[in-house]
Structure 1
Amino acid sequence: MLELQDVCFTIKKDGESINLVDLVNIRIPRGHFMAIVGPSGCGKTTLLKTIAGLNPESSGGLYWEGRNLSVEGDLEASDIGYVPQFSIAYDPLTVDESVEAATKLRVAVRDNEELDHRIDRVLEETGLAAIADRQVKVLSGGQKRRLGLAMELVSDPKLLLCDEVTSGLDPRSEREIVRLLHDLSRREGRIVLSVTHSLAHLELYDSILVLHEGRVAYHGPPDQVTHYFSVHDTEEVYPKLATQTSERWQSSWMKHRAPYYSKLDKVRTKLIDSGALHLPLGVVNQPVSTSSQGESAPAAEVGTTVLEKVAPLTSPAEETPKVRTPGFMTQFMTLLSRRWRIFFRDRGQVFLQLAILLCFPILVTLFSENANGQIANLSDTRQGNIVAEIAEQQTVKRDQVTVGSAISGIIMFQVILLSLMGSNNSAREIAGERQIFEKEKFGGLRPSAYLASKVAFLACLVLAQSLWMGVFVNLFAPFRGGGGGFESHIIFLLLINGAMTAICLGISALMRTAEQASLLSIYLVGFQLPLSGAVLALPDSVEFFTQKFISAYWAWSGSVSALEPKVLHAVKSVIDTGLAERAECLYMLAFHVAAGLIAAWIGARRHQWD
């Protein structure tokens, strides 16, 4: 039994409190299929999200089997299913793979046999068994809606909430989806609530809830809607609502609802007696009304009046086993495996990564010729000819400028290119799938498992890109480092790529859209070169504040500081920016990586359901 007692959801607009859901009182028994209808903006989806717990009620109470959800916590993730308007599946995956991933993320199964049985069962229930091998991207609108239902049914939810799952479908597909929802409500006493703008196929519902400006204007049998609103056709209901204020409709309904609730109870009893409605063992006929007058019990009396009139759903011996949520490692491995599968099936992304991996190091080698030059030494014996001494000094200076500029420039070029790679790696990684992630988090996905899978996937890209950049350049265009300079350079290449990848992952987690995350990440990379001070020295006042936040400076400075003394002297002769110690550069880049991951963790945990 689901019961709403004087439920309100209030927002602040221009300093004024506005009730998007206003004093809603309804009771929905087990095995019930209800439509929530009303004109656009009347609060249908807001009410559904309030029931789901996505919108915390501002006042009133929600009760599930007599338990106050506002006080005792939300429903278990396995007890509730929510099918949103948007697609919750990845296009490159097949139907079977999508349902398998949903099952592994939401249900702790004993073995593969139980996993396969659960997958096959929901595919049969939703009519998807015949197209299980098709990719999501080739499915029709109706088939995608069925897939969304299948991915929610894997945990056998007792309460299924559907938000506009028939919108945009042709009449035949719409009726098929409504019929499917009707059938699902008849199994295991499941409550199915469906938000819809359409007034077609109302005869398939057990009851219709009509909302007007967040208030209940009607809740009763579908065949009584036209009678109550004094119209000839259901299409006239919405224009009729506009003839009165929502307060008057709500007041009128509170006065006249008793006979309509009585009819709902009689129809329900007939369904149970005829066997058309199958309730779980131990579940009794739960009335919509709690008294002969059809009045809902006050919230304070839920613990007595309701429970006296409605028998317990099951006896302790008959309770079905609770569906357990999988552990961290199961969710982590499922997500990581799915991410790699999606990556390799996205040919455009694979080709882009290969092109970047091959072309960027080649670009570096094109500018590396001057970095291989020799730096002349001053004679140990003093020249007697002053002209010769000046010429020698000029030669050394010229060599230092040529080699120093080239080596400094090549290191910075590699650093900037790897920063760009890092931005490309993760700028859209979370923001691009925000809706799917929020939906899976609602279904029991741990944010820690999700973020860990992203870090593991991106770490592989960072390793491949950074190592290949360093090794390729060293093989085909080695520049003079010495003294362990190459190994140190590799470490800083890894760190700059890792730092930028982590920071952009944090941006992706904090932004609401992929476009916002991509734009901000591009700006971040664009500022790396001018603010690093490697090309033009910054004013001291600016450098003091900006340098700490520029990953490129620390990677460039650390790599340059590890060069052999002669080459380092050549580089210092052509730059005006001071170089930090190698250890300090390592610590700062590690801090950037940590800051990015912390931001990603905050963004992953934060509720950002649209």
Structure 2
Amino acid sequence: MLELQDVCFTIQKDGEAVNLVDRASIKVPRGHFMAIVGPSGCGKTTLLKTIAGLNPESEGALFWEGRNLSEDADFEPSEIGYVPQFSVAYDPLTVDESIEAATRLRVKTNNAEDLDHRIDRVLEETGMTGFADRQVKVLSGGQKRRLGLAMELVSDPKLLLCDEVTSGLDPRSEREIVRLLHELSRREGRIVLSVTHSLAHLELYDSILVLHEGRVAYHGPPELMNHYFSVHDTEEVYPKLATQSSEQWHNSWAKHRDAYYGKLEKGRAKAIAAGTLHVPQKAAESEEDSKQLKTPGFFTQLSTLLSRRWRIFFRDKGQVFLQLAILICFPLLVTLFSDKASDNIKTLSDSKQENFIDEYKEQQMVRQDQVKVGSAVSGIIMFQVILLSLMGSNNSAREIAGERPIFEKEKFGGLRPSAYLASKVAFLACLVLAQSVWMGVFVNFFGQFRGDFGQHLIFLLLINGAMTAICLGISAMMRTAEQASLLSIYLVGFQLPLSGAVLALPEHIEQFTRPFISAYWAWSGSVESLEDKVLSAVKSVIDTSLTAQNACLYTLGLHIGLGLLASWIGTRRHQWD
């Protein structure tokens, strides 16, 4: 049984405490199908999230199977399923692949046969067997709702919470979904709570909970609701609510609650006696079933997420084309200037010139060669650094924020944030390695790096890795992909002017900005890798001081570490809207 005793959820608004859920007290027995209805803004979804534990109750207590959730352990991931308003599947995947991934992330199966059996069962239960090979993006609204239900049923939850799963559907699809939820509540004593705006098909529910401004105005059989509110038609209930304050409706319900709960109990007893409702005893659950419902380990979740990420990547033709275009075009841009950096640098002759004018001319020619080559070499290195910074931003700016709703939903279902973050790092590390090595090797093929190429390549890897990690952290901290992308673009945009590679900054500004500019450290470390003659030429044309390579390595490593730390904090933090 699910029971709420004077549950409140309070927020601060304009300095005052406002109860979005106000002293809600209800009882829902096993094998029960309940609708939560009420005018817009009355607290339906807020109540559902409070039951789920997404909103911590401010007062009161919630009980599940006699366990006080407010004091003892919360729901186990396998005990509860939550179907939100938004789609919980990736468009490029098929229905079968989506359910398989959900199963691997939520349920520790014994073997491949057990996995296939669980997938086939939920496909059949939700009527999606015929659509198993279809991609999510081609499904209708009703089919996507069925898929969302199927992905929750893989763990056999005893409590299924549905938030507006019928909204936006045509009348036929709406009725089919409500019937499906009714059938699901009749299996294994499952409780199904469904938030809905619609007042159609109420006869399929066992009880109706009516909320008004966060308070319970009615909770009883659907056939008695019109009588309680003294209306002739169900559509008149909402206008009727507006005739009294929520406090008056709440007090009225407190007087009549026991009588209506008694009628609910009689109806339940008749259904059990007639065999239309079967509620198994908790003790009847086998030990084998409880073993199957354990959450998979870290490495199982990691491999599932990584496999899914690569599958999504290769099926997104636009993303693959963009990555290939960047991989080809960016190094080509750098090679357009490589000839200027390959010129020889003249040196002063050992023999003394006959007159002062000839010696002066020779010095000027050497100086011009140094400026020409030094500027070209420094510019090409910075060009590579900035382009790899841009690649890093493109790699990860939307990586977490772009799938935030699905991630939060999967985290609610038992996904370890550590496994999720590890899968992102592994995926992005492959992109960073391919982009950085290709950039370095391609440019070096057309114009030999005039120094230690291995050290230069390390700094190319580090700048790409640093910017990828930092933007991943931004993506993890932001709520939307648009916010993360905009901030990441600004971050890359400031790298060049604040690096000091083109124009040296004033010293009093430089000492504050330099620690945060990854591009400077990669550029400085690469420049220090140049052979002595070329290094002297570069130093002759720049005003910005260079830093020792070890300091550059440590600083870029620190940037990567800080980016990963921000990513870890962002993935651990609850950001469910």
Question: Normalising by structure 1, what TM-score?
Answer: 0.94
Asked whether 1:354 is paired with 2:321, we answer no
Shift of 1:317: 7.3
Aligned pair partner of 2:488 in 521, 525, 543: 521
Taking the aligned partners of 2:58 and 2:356, their CA distance within structure 1 comes to: 90
Aligned twin of 1:20: 20
Are 2:146 and 2:177, in contact at CA under 8 Å, matched by a contact in 1? yes
Taking the aligned partners of 1:411 and 1:551, their CA distance within structure 2 comes to: 14
- Cα distance per residue 1:255-303 (max 9 Å; x no partner): 11222212111111111111111112xx3xxxxxxxxxxxxxxxxxxxx
| 1:527-546 equivalent positions in 2, closer than 5 A | 527-546=494-513
Aligned twin of 1:286: none
Taking the aligned partners of 1:194 and 1:574, their CA distance within structure 2 comes to: 70
Aligned twin of 2:94: 94
Are 2:340 and 2:373, in contact at CA under 8 Å, matched by a contact in 1? yes
Q: Which amino acid aligns with 1:554?
A: W
Asked whether 1:232 is paired with 2:232, we answer yes
Shift of 1:394: 0.5
Taking the aligned partners of 1:147 and 1:321, their CA distance within structure 2 comes to: 24
Q: Which amino acid aligns with 2:239?
A: P
Taking the aligned partners of 2:288 and 2:382, their CA distance within structure 1 comes to: 66
Aligned twin of 1:276: 276
Taking the aligned partners of 2:447 and 2:204, their CA distance within structure 1 comes to: 73
Aligned twin of 1:47: 47
Taking the aligned partners of 1:196 and 1:318, their CA distance within structure 2 comes to: 36
Shift of 1:314: 2.1
Aligned twin of 1:294: none
Taking the aligned partners of 2:536 and 2:263, their CA distance within structure 1 comes to: 93
Closer, same or farther: CA 315–353 of 1 in aligned 2, 3 Å: closer
Asked whether 1:314 is paired with 2:283, we answer yes
Aligned twin of 1:463: 433
Q: Secondary structure at the match of 2:117?
A: helix
Shift of 1:316: 8.6
Taking the aligned partners of 1:263 and 1:3, their CA distance within structure 2 comes to: 18
Aligned twin of 2:56: 56
Taking the aligned partners of 2:249 and 2:570, their CA distance within structure 1 comes to: 42
Q: Which amino acid aligns with 1:505?
A: L
Q: Secondary structure at the match of 2:70?
A: helix
Q: Secondary structure at the match of 1:395?
A: helix
Aligned twin of 2:557: 590
Aligned twin of 1:249: 249
- Cα distance per residue 1:397-443 (max 9 Å; x no partner): 00000000000000000000000000000000000000000000000
- Cα distance per residue 1:150-169 (max 9 Å; x no partner): 00000000000000000000
Closer, same or farther: CA 213–383 of 1 in aligned 2, 3 Å: same
| 1:12-411 equivalent positions in 2, closer than 5 A | 12-280=12-280, 283=281, 313-314=282-283, 320-322=289-291, 323-411=293-381
Q: Which amino acid aligns with 1:160?
A: L
Asked whether 1:494 is paired with 2:461, we answer yes
Shift of 1:65: 1.0
Shift of 1:460: 0.3
Of all paired residues, the percent bearing the same amino acid is 79
Taking the aligned partners of 1:255 and 1:587, their CA distance within structure 2 comes to: 70
Aligned twin of 1:507: 474
Are 2:2 and 2:62, in contact at CA under 8 Å, matched by a contact in 1? yes
Aligned pair partner of 2:397 in 427, 431, 445: 427
Asked whether 1:417 is paired with 2:354, we answer no
- Cα distance per residue 1:353-401 (max 9 Å; x no partner): 0000000000001112210111111112322311111011011000000
- Cα distance per residue 1:179-208 (max 9 Å; x no partner): 000000000000000000100000000000
Taking the aligned partners of 1:73 and 1:241, their CA distance within structure 2 comes to: 37
Taking the aligned partners of 2:444 and 2:518, their CA distance within structure 1 comes to: 23
Taking the aligned partners of 1:472 and 1:403, their CA distance within structure 2 comes to: 20
Aligned pair partner of 1:606 in 551, 569, 573: 573
Q: Secondary structure at the match of 1:60?
A: strand
Q: Which amino acid aligns with 1:100?
A: E
- Cα distance per residue 1:68-96 (max 9 Å; x no partner): 00100211000000000000000000000
Closer, same or farther: CA 319–159 of 1 in aligned 2, 3 Å: farther
Shift of 1:46: 0.4
Poorly superposed stretches of 4+, deviation over 3 Å: 315-320
Shift of 1:19: 0.5
Taking the aligned partners of 1:166 and 1:537, their CA distance within structure 2 comes to: 61
Shift of 1:318: 7.7
**5+ residue gaps in structure 1?**
284-312
Taking the aligned partners of 1:91 and 1:359, their CA distance within structure 2 comes to: 29
Q: Which amino acid aligns with 1:314?
A: A
Question: Normalising by structure 2, what TM-score?
Answer: 0.99
Q: Secondary structure at the match of 1:321?
A: helix
Q: Secondary structure at the match of 2:35?
A: strand
Are 2:338 and 2:446, in contact at CA under 8 Å, matched by a contact in 1? no
Taking the aligned partners of 2:514 and 2:259, their CA distance within structure 1 comes to: 74
Taking the aligned partners of 2:302 and 2:200, their CA distance within structure 1 comes to: 43
Q: Secondary structure at the match of 1:71?
A: coil
**How many corresponding residue pairs?**
576
**5+ residue gaps in structure 2?**
none
Aligned pair partner of 1:478 in 448, 454, 475: 448
Q: Which amino acid aligns with 1:430?
A: I
Shift of 1:319: 9.1
Q: Secondary structure at the match of 1:594?
A: helix
Aligned twin of 2:523: 556
- Cα distance per residue 1:523-546 (max 9 Å; x no partner): 000000000000000000110000
Q: Which amino acid aligns with 2:341?
A: A
Q: Secondary structure at the match of 1:498?
A: helix
Shift of 1:588: 0.5
Q: Secondary structure at the match of 2:110?
A: coil
- Cα distance per residue 1:23-67 (max 9 Å; x no partner): 111110000000000000000000000000000000000001111
Q: Which amino acid aligns with 2:404?
A: R
Q: Secondary structure at the match of 1:457?
A: helix
Aligned pair partner of 2:543 in 572, 576, 579: 576
Taking the aligned partners of 1:408 and 1:200, their CA distance within structure 2 comes to: 71
Aligned pair partner of 2:409 in 414, 421, 439: 439
RMSD between aligned alpha carbons?
1.0
Shift of 1:571: 0.2
Closer, same or farther: CA 405–130 of 1 in aligned 2, 3 Å: same
Closer, same or farther: CA 423–316 of 1 in aligned 2, 3 Å: closer
